[in-house]
Amino acid sequence: MKGFSELTLSAGLVIFWLTAKVYSQPRQPQVPCFFIFGDSLVDNGNNNGILTLARANYRPYGIDFPLGPTGRFTNGRTYVDALAQLLGFTTYIPPSARTRGRELLRGVNYASGAAGIRNETGDNLGDHTSMDQQVSSFADTVLQMRRFFRGDPNALNSYLSKCIFYSGMGSNDYLNNYFMPDFYGTSSDYTVKAYADVLLQDYSRQLTQLYTLGARKAIVSAVGQIGCIPYQLARYHGNSSRCNEKINMAISMFNSGLRKLVDRFNGGQLPGAKFVYLDSYQSTSDLYKNAASSGFEVVDKGCCGVGRNNGQITCLPLQQPCADRSKYLFWDAFHPTEAANIAFAKNSFSSQTQSYAYPINIQQLAML
């Protein structure tokens, strides 16, 4: 009996040790890497070192972020920060401005505040990295990554095919281009429909270039309901709606075409690829309508800013923001709070309907 007891105890200790070892292993993300393209909604510091008004590396930006003001245009985490955590990444995807060596294997954030699909978009704010330039930077990254695969292009392509690529572009092509006629001529050159078509042609080319460079699992975000952001509410005085429906209508045309583009990509135009259309317009609209049930009390003005709806300009350096950021949908005139970004990420990651992510959700995309 004594020997049996000792054997049982020893077996128990072995099981305990093995269990502890399993649970002490660092959790692996659901995908090996995450590459991000976009504008200020997902920029995490790429604009810090360039000459531009589109910068957020000062307080109160980052007031709720562990690292303080990093260049993120919100009080805490961006949408892609929250999404990276849902995907199992234990650290944030770094900005391209300071990503080197083996760090590239985990992914890179190329996003730049004021950037757009068109190269001239955002020029009114100064320097930025357009979508064309971001794609070019990714091409350079692919060249740098080859050495980690001994120059074997097949091994590198296999690795990249498991990664997730996110692209969120188009907002500035309207806010800082088409609907800024004093600075740009696009509204004179194109009807609303023609402009959407031109944007989609350029965007299709850019996304196809990412595919050629190795992207196979891609998330493409629609443009949100920007006719309802504090910046527009501060400027617009409509009679029948608090939002600028002229802008929302233009955005809807672009989004409708973008969803059709995703269908074409998934329908065989880009063999082996799977694209997910992220309906940011619908998710924003639903948060407006169901704000209280989602924990939001203020949906029509920024937590910090200047003027009507705190929407005339973005947060000023060292400005005192609202006390409870979790109750606000918007952080400043243009950008969501961390709380809103987390809500958007959760909805798109595991949504069981196609209202927010189409044709599958992001969790399902990661598992492919």
pLDDT in tens, 247-280: 999 999 999 999 999 999 999 999 999 999 999 9
Q: Does residue 13 surpass a pLDDT of 60?
A: no
CA angle 124, 127, 129 (to 5 degrees): 115
Residues 338-368 have pLDDT tens digits of 999 999 999 999 998 899 999 999 999 999 9
Q: How confident is the model at residue 95 (pLDDT cuts 50, 70, 90)?
A: very high
Q: Is the pLDDT of residue 175 over 50?
A: yes
Share of the chain above pLDDT 70, in %: 92
In 148-175, which positions are buried (b, 16+ CB within 10 angstroms) versus exposed (e)? ebeeeeeebeebbeebbbbbbbbbbbbb
Q: Give phi and psi for 275, each to the nearest 5.
A: -105, 140
What pLDDT band is residue 117 in, cutting at 50, 70 and 90? very high
Interval 294-312: pLDDT, tens: 999 999 999 999 999 999 9
Average pLDDT, the chain: 92
pLDDT at 22 over 70: no
**The pLDDT of residue 241:** 61
Determine the average pLDDT of the residues in 13-19: 39
Q: What confidence score (pLDDT) does residue 24 get? A: 38
Would the pLDDT of 238 be above 90? no
Q: What's the token pair of residue 69? A: 């003001």
Tell me the domain boundaries of the chain: 29-367
At residue 151, the pLDDT reads 86
Could you tell me the pLDDT band of residue 242, with boundaries at 50, 70 and 90? confident
Amino acid letter, 77: R
Q: Report, as an integer, the average pLDDT of 322-330.
A: 98
Average pLDDT score over residue span 118-141: 98
Please confirm, yes or no, whether 24 is among the known catalytic residues. Answer: no
pLDDT score of 20 more than 80: no
Say whether 221 is catalytic.
no
Report the pLDDT value the prediction gives residue 10, as an integer from 0 to 100.
45
What does the alpha-carbon distance between residue 5 and residue 17 come to, in Å, rounded to a whole number? Answer: 18
Q: pLDDT at residue 5 above 90?
A: no
Nearest Cα neighbor of 107 from 96, 88, 93 is 93
Give the model's pLDDT for residue 25. Answer: 45
Per-residue pLDDT band for 19 (boundaries 50, 70, 90) equals very low
CA–CA gap between residue 78 and residue 339 (Å, rounded): 9
Q: Among residues 43, 335, 348, 351, which one is catalytic?
A: 335
Q: Is 332 a catalytic residue?
A: yes
| Predicted structure pTM score | 0.92
Name the CATH superfamily for 29-367: SGNH hydrolase (3.40.50.1110)
Q: Are the C-beta atoms of 220 and 167 separated by less than 8 Å? A: yes
pLDDT per residue as tens digits for the range 23-76: 334 579 999 999 999 999 999 999 999 999 999 999 999 999 999 999 999 999
Cα–Cα distance for residue pair 75/321, rounded to 1 Å:
9
Count of CB atoms within 10 A of residue 318's CB? 8
180-202 confidence digits (pLDDT tens)? 999 999 999 999 999 999 999 99
Spot the catalytic one: 40, 167, 280, 348: 40
Nearest partner of 275 among 346, 314, 333, 222, judged by Cα: 222
Closest CA to 224 of 136, 62, 334: 334
Can you tell me the mean pLDDT for 89-106?
Answer: 96
- Relative to beta strand 274-278, strand 357-358 is antiparallel
The pLDDT value given to residue 214: 98
Contact 288, 228 (CB under 8 A): yes
From 123, 173, 300, 332, active-site residue = 332
Q: What angle, 0 to 180 degrees and rounded to 10, lies between the N-to-C axes of helices 192-212 and 131-145?
A: 0
